[in-house]
Structure 1
Amino acid sequence: MKSNTSITDENLSKFSSVLENKTNHGFIVVERNDKLPFAVLMKKKQKVNHFLNFFICCATLGLWSFAWIYITRVSSKARKIVVAIDEDGNTFEEKCYMG
């Protein structure tokens, strides 16, 4: 049977590896609490090159318009997420609503 300190150390190492993975994918840590453990991460808004997308849309006879709409509406928005560990030691991620 494992002791409580090894379980918390294991959970903290899982938590840190998830945070490292998210920061490698462009997220920035806004707030971090190692006692509970949870962290609020933010990915900044990306600028869309509409001229390039228009050119690709014309070259593909309009087929690129679906991807262009997706890029403009979904991918280019800023996002905030909460990464935490529950009581069972499982990491989870939820969206934060920005106000």
Structure 2
Amino acid sequence: MNSNKSKIDADLAKFSSILNKKTNNGFVVLERNDKLPYAILMKSKKKVDHISNFFIFCATLGLWSIAWIYISQVSSKAKKILIAIDEDGNAFEEKCF
């Protein structure tokens, strides 16, 4: 019984450390359950400065367009993720849609 409790405590410590890393990276906890353990995190949408990107685009003779499209379409969107610990004690992360 004692080894089972220590395993649960170790899993909770691992779960909490993962959450701390993600919150330091800019995510906000929307929902958290320590009994199962899982949490839903969200990172808000970034604002893209199109004016400065246009000047970089002009200075690089259009080569910056690839990075600009990536910044505008992929990395500036809001992100929601689910972080959980499974029955074996392994942490996993999935995207929420």
For Structure 1 versus Structure 2, the TM-score category normalised by the shorter chain is over 0.9
Tell me the equivalent position of 1:54. Answer: 54
Tell me the equivalent position of 1:20. Answer: 20
In the alignment of these two chains, the number of paired residues is: 96
Once residues 4 and 52 of structure 1 are traced to their aligned partners in structure 2, the CA distance between those partners, rounded to angstroms, is 56
Map Cα deviations across residues 7-46 of structure 1 (whole Å, 9 max, x no partner): 0110001000100000111100000000000000000000
Once residues 20 and 48 of structure 1 are traced to their aligned partners in structure 2, the CA distance between those partners, rounded to angstroms, is 27
Once residues 26 and 56 of structure 1 are traced to their aligned partners in structure 2, the CA distance between those partners, rounded to angstroms, is 27
1:35 aligns with 2:55: no
Q: Sequence identity of aligned pairs in percent? A: 70
Where structure 2 has 5 or more consecutive residues not aligned to the other structure, the ranges are none
The DSSP-based 3-state class of the residue aligned with 1:3 is helix
- When normalised by structure 2's length, the TM-score is 0.96
Query: Which amino acid in structure 2 is aligned with residue 71 of structure 1?
Result: I
Shift of 1:72: 0.3
Query: Which amino acid in structure 2 is aligned with residue 3 of structure 1?
Result: S
- When normalised by structure 1's length, the TM-score is 0.94
Runs of 4+ in 1 over 4 A off after TM superposition: none
The DSSP-based 3-state class of the residue aligned with 1:18 is helix
Query: Which amino acid in structure 1 is aligned with residue 28 of structure 2?
Result: I
Shift of 1:61: 1.0
Tell me the equivalent position of 1:89. Answer: 89
